[in-house]
Amino acid sequence: MLAIGACATTGRTYLSYSTLQGVDEIIPVDVYIPGCPPRPEALTDGIMKLHEQVMNQRLQRVHWYGKGRS
């Protein structure tokens, strides 16, 4: 998951009940993109880092896949 911008990464900009403080405590974050709003090159870099992480993952065989097939 990407956390984009200062609000999503820290929540410090808006100290209110409507903004989650520290999204990484609820949802696992893979790449943080700083800025408010983030610069285009930071966004591109973050997307490329996430793409690299996805491409380096190994596919695992799911235990239920293929059962009952012949």
The residue with tokens 């799911």 is 62
Give the amino acid at 17.
Y
Residue 23 pLDDT more than 60?
yes
Would the pTM count as exceeding 0.95?
Answer: no
Has residue 70 been placed in a domain? no
- Reported as a single tens digit per residue, the pLDDT across 35-49 is 888 899 999 999 999
Q: What is the mean pLDDT of residues 16-40?
A: 80
3 DSSP β-pair partners: 32
Read off the tokens for 30: 């893979």
Which H helix or E strand runs over 33?
strand 31-33
Q: Is residue 51 part of a domain?
A: yes
Assigned domain for 39 exists: yes
pLDDT of 12 reads 65
Domain that holds residue 20: 2-55
- Is residue 8 domain-resident? yes
